[in-house]
Structure 1
Amino acid sequence: MRQLLEEGWEIDPEDLAHISPYLTEHINRFGEYSTYELGIQPEAYDPKLDVDFTPLRSRT
């Protein structure tokens, strides 16, 4: 746009609205997600979980 303005082109804001990457009314940028899982209560926390904390790789 700056180059076109430097070359003497007249650019209207309405023209920019047609090429703006932020005008995505017909596109759902963040997708559609199920919110059913938000209502599911997690199981109670067990502080004695069997978790192996050994390193996957040896540090050398």
Structure 2
Amino acid sequence: MLHKNVVKKFGDLTTIANLNITVEDKEFLVLVGSIRLRKTTALRLLAGLEEISDGE
């Protein structure tokens, strides 16, 4: 799975900008970071649970 320059907006608020990630078959993805860094939003985008505002 390849995602390039992914952007997620909620109205006028851009919550994720220029997310680039590649996950190969049989690989696991772990996102680590402080609270409010939009980790859950990024995972929801990658899983197809949220609609990508822009990007591939």
Structure 1-normalised TM-score? 0.16
Q: Give the structure, 1 or 2, with the largest relative contact order (CA under 8 Å, sep 6 or more).
A: 2
Higher helix fraction: Structure 1 or Structure 2? 1
Structure 2-normalised TM-score? 0.17
Higher strand fraction: Structure 1 or Structure 2? 2
Larger radius of gyration: 1
